[in-house]
Structure 1
């Protein structure tokens, strides 16, 4: 799954409509190029590709809104809203070797109702706990599995990463269950929600 695709849809969604430059500026302000590997050129590519797929539509520029050369504004279509919700849910559940998609999903998770976000994160937790168990086993049995003894150090690294991920997701679930953060449908301005 592409973190860029999720974040571009998310930014256009939260703004109601946005020019490519506005999407790019927003994501670079968030430093998404570092934690989600969102490259500036890929933002414009994603906007054009998703417009061609019917997920975004071009809208007329409001007079005076854009003084620069980037005068094409975009907004989500109904299919774009569906795609955003599907990508967000998938990124919160599926294993993510790079961490880019999960990082993008955590950024946009307040766009979901609280109960749905908790449920999806619990599914992610199950995946992470399974990975932790398998890396612990590999660490403890590397030589028996025919690996050189020093390879156990690599399994130890993976084991520590898996444990940290499990602890992090458990804490995030606890925060959500305790009512932290404003989530979609809770009456307050949830980050990522479109303007009214």
Structure 2
């Protein structure tokens, strides 16, 4: 599943209700087309699909007569559940694919929508998974030509390991920042980023 689904749900949730142009404008202002591979057309497709799946519902708007027809959406209870599930999954599951990187970026965007303890638990789970992946990569590098031929293909494993080492360092830093009270989280009694605060 792509990062677009979480990002679209998150932006609609943040606004309380939003139309497609608002969601598109918000995501493009974050440069999500670059770091999450979100194509503008996929935003409208995601909105329609999630309405069909009953994760979003259409709400009345105050459009001016003769103005553009803009359909506004808000999360249903199932949409809120889906948002929370995707957010937790994308933070907790270590996936070194390109899609995995996009999903992690989307999840970090809405990290403050979680209670602090839950965010910490999910990130620690990811660190544990990553430790196993790093051990596998080191084992391949240390015990011969498990990567096949030609020999220089082993450089891909070195690149993979270096990337995982950097991710591990960043994750541990994020955990430390959260433990020391960094960022306003959902249970801090203040308006956290990604919480429903705006209306169309």
Shorter-chain TM-score bucket reads over 0.9
Q: Is the 8 A contact 1:89 1:120 kept in 2?
A: yes
Q: Is the 8 A contact 1:58 1:73 kept in 2?
A: yes
3-state DSSP of counterpart to 1:57: strand
From the superposition, tell whether residues 150 and 194 of structure 1 become closer, same or farther in structure 2 (CA, over 3 Å).
same
Partner of 1:115: 117
| C-alpha distance in structure 1 between counterparts of 2:125 and 2:147, whole Å | 30
- Greater displacement, 77-86 / 135-144: 135-144
Partner of 1:34: 34
3-state DSSP of counterpart to 2:107: helix
| C-alpha distance in structure 1 between counterparts of 2:66 and 2:170, whole Å | 44
Q: Which runs of 5+ in 2 are unaligned?
A: none
Q: Is the 8 A contact 1:21 1:70 kept in 2?
A: no
| C-alpha distance in structure 2 between counterparts of 1:68 and 1:131, whole Å | 54
**1:94-105 correspondence runs (5 A):** 94-96=93-95, 97-98=97-98, 99-105=101-107
Structure 1, residues 13-59: CA drift from partner, whole Å, max 9, x if none?
00000010000000000000111111100000000000001000001
Larger relative contact order (CA 8 Å, sep ≥ 6): 2
User: TM-score, structure 2 length as denominator?
Assistant: 0.92
Partner of 2:68: 69
| C-alpha distance in structure 1 between counterparts of 2:89 and 2:133, whole Å | 18
Q: Is the 8 A contact 2:63 2:70 kept in 1?
A: no
| C-alpha distance in structure 2 between counterparts of 1:45 and 1:74, whole Å | 13
Partner of 2:167: 165
CA RMSD of superposed structures (Å): 1.7
User: TM-score, structure 1 length as denominator?
Assistant: 0.94
Structure 1, residues 61-114: CA drift from partner, whole Å, max 9, x if none?
1245x9852410000001100000001001011123120000000000100000
Q: How many residues align?
A: 195
Q: Is the 8 A contact 2:36 2:103 kept in 1?
A: yes
CA-CA distance at 1:137 after TM superposition: 1.5
| C-alpha distance in structure 2 between counterparts of 1:124 and 1:26, whole Å | 28
CA-CA distance at 1:189 after TM superposition: 1.6
Partner of 1:185: 187
From the superposition, tell whether residues 91 and 68 of structure 1 become closer, same or farther in structure 2 (CA, over 3 Å).
farther
Q: Which runs of 5+ in 1 are unaligned?
A: none
